[in-house]
Structure 1
């Protein structure tokens, strides 16, 4: 992995990471954080409590109700089976299998077997969603729409001039940028962490998870970030934290990771999937200073800086 430049304008103070607990240790040691709840109404984000938006910005996570028209069934099946071999003979789950060896055009896409983690991943950008089952691709577009609605609502809530949105988000606010589906399977037979504590590098992450085990450092304390039936978990990425860090209500991209999965033989494994929404790689990372967005760093360099620290075996971030 390439070390980040020591003079990088976006490099934050190192965080000494706690040892990743097992699921059992996590459930008995770390209390669940009270997440704010929101829903989408008339293409904007509405929180249940008057101060819910500001509390969500500070925590870095919140729950959003899954819209009625959005069916997660196909995504759930894909996350559970993408790593398996196809069975043949018209097996109804075969459309969701066989993706370990799928050749996905472009960089940093396809199947990844993580050396230091239980998770294995399948990453695929929007331009290649035609390789997925139709219902999975449709779900990806719907989760992207939801994430863009979150982004628009957030930028408006912070009173950032709409004329700046496309530039500072690298086109993401205009449905350009980088839209990535990531499917995760956690292998309990590997005696390692579930995933490293890390920050997401982009803007908005929309997570579908049904199992506890996600942990986050919030204000220096480790908390459980538990799923809620009928809701996605949304968290904010580093690009958003950098942009807003000098505003009156900065957005936190809190460090988070997954506890080591423990399963009895025959018990269903932990799975999850997300839509990552990020800037175009040819864009620029900005920070608002005195009401003006100041360019700091090429986004391609920033993304490499952030991602390289996500999958290594270092105890620092």
Structure 2
């Protein structure tokens, strides 16, 4: 299993993709954040077939610029299994009906950077599992994973179409993700309120599209130089864009932003459940290439493996900078 430290050691910072350092305040507690940072006015969207529609005129372009938007959960998509898994994966078995969702701190998940992680500098504890290993999950969680990744791939294709990336380049530049290949990972998060530190560090996602199931305020994002609260909306996923999409579109008339975000320090009174969330991370295959599109030509910039190491190395450390 690859650790954040080993990834840091082999990170090669690229002059084009390693963006300028960002000055950010210390991650606040949730009460301080609620008082200090207003909610971001997120665009609301839904799918009609493969067409991504937005409630407001110009909503698609504003979503690309903010890096976040709300996506209506389709009828018939049951998030209950994922909700239960996120709430219980870190617990030991207790000999009841929830045991299929417990005991994953000790699960042996083959492959790189998968399994249980206890974050030294964060309230975060995570369980990461790539699609090839989803058979280790309860079947209903596996089904939800496929549905969520399907939505994420559909978002990616809708964005590439909207910003006019030639369709014959989609599979190449996305490392096969546009054809439902690439790197598809489920990540379940539990924020331990008894641990007096940040929820998680400010960071950018490294891939293409992230589909987030969140339940309460606490996610902060830096948009147009200002921190704001990216709050969940009942019946919706939160979607945000990753750095691979930002690099690809940086020279286009409508570039996509991968904005910096993180989670506040969770504060709880006795008896109140901790914060949980879960996501699908959609990325290129690690043996692929990061591209920048310019005048209809895809220019290779960096290997996906080096780009991922570069981005992840700054997500889990404790240097207070990004």
Q: Equivalences for 1:230-241 in 2 at 5 Å?
A: 230-241=235-246
**In structure 2, which of residues 247, 254, 260 is the aligned counterpart of residue 249 of structure 1?**
254
User: After the TM superposition, which parts of structure 1 deviate over 3 Å for at least 4 consecutive aligned residues?
Assistant: 3-8
Q: Equivalences for 1:119-138 in 2 at 5 Å?
A: 119-138=124-143
Supply the RMSD in Å over aligned alpha carbons: 0.9
Shift of the alpha carbon at 1:144? 0.5
Residue number in structure 1 paired with 2:4:
none
Q: For each residue in 1:11-62, what CA deviation from the matched residue of structure 2 results, as whole angstroms up to 9, or x when unmatched?
A: 1111122110000000011000000000011122111112000000000000
Mapped partners of 1:291, 1:16: distance in 2: 34
**In structure 2, which of residues 255, 259, 280 is the aligned counterpart of residue 275 of structure 1?**
280
Q: For each residue in 1:142-168, what CA deviation from the matched residue of structure 2 results, as whole angstroms up to 9, or x when unmatched?
A: 000100110110000011100000000
Q: Equivalences for 1:175-190 in 2 at 5 Å?
A: 175-190=180-195
Unmatched runs of 5 consecutive residues or more in structure 1: none
Contact (CA 8 Å) 1:207, 1:275: kept in 2 or not?
Answer: yes
Shift of the alpha carbon at 1:241? 0.3
Contact (CA 8 Å) 1:215, 1:258: kept in 2 or not?
Answer: yes
**In structure 1, which of residues 42, 60, 63 is the aligned counterpart of residue 67 of structure 2?**
60
Structure 1 residues 12 and 4: alpha-carbon distance in aligned structure 2, compared to 1, 3 A threshold: farther
Shift of the alpha carbon at 1:6? 4.8
Contact (CA 8 Å) 2:12, 2:306: kept in 1 or not?
Answer: no
Mapped partners of 2:223, 2:14: distance in 1: 26
Matched residue SS, 2:87: helix
**In structure 2, which of residues 146, 154, 157 is the aligned counterpart of residue 152 of structure 1?**
157
Q: For each residue in 1:59-95, what CA deviation from the matched residue of structure 2 results, as whole angstroms up to 9, or x when unmatched?
A: 000000000121000000000000000012xx01101
Q: Equivalences for 1:267-306 in 2 at 5 Å?
A: 267-306=272-311
Unmatched runs of 5 consecutive residues or more in structure 2: 1-7
Residue number in structure 1 paired with 2:18:
11
Contact (CA 8 Å) 1:209, 1:271: kept in 2 or not?
Answer: yes
> How many pairs align?
315
TM-score normalised to structure 1 length: 0.98
Matched, 1:307 2:312: yes
Structure 1 residues 148 and 7: alpha-carbon distance in aligned structure 2, compared to 1, 3 A threshold: closer
Shift of the alpha carbon at 1:125? 0.2
Q: For each residue in 1:131-189, what CA deviation from the matched residue of structure 2 results, as whole angstroms up to 9, or x when unmatched?
A: 00011000000000100110110000011100000000011001110000000000000
Mapped partners of 2:42, 2:106: distance in 1: 38
Residue number in structure 1 paired with 2:232:
227
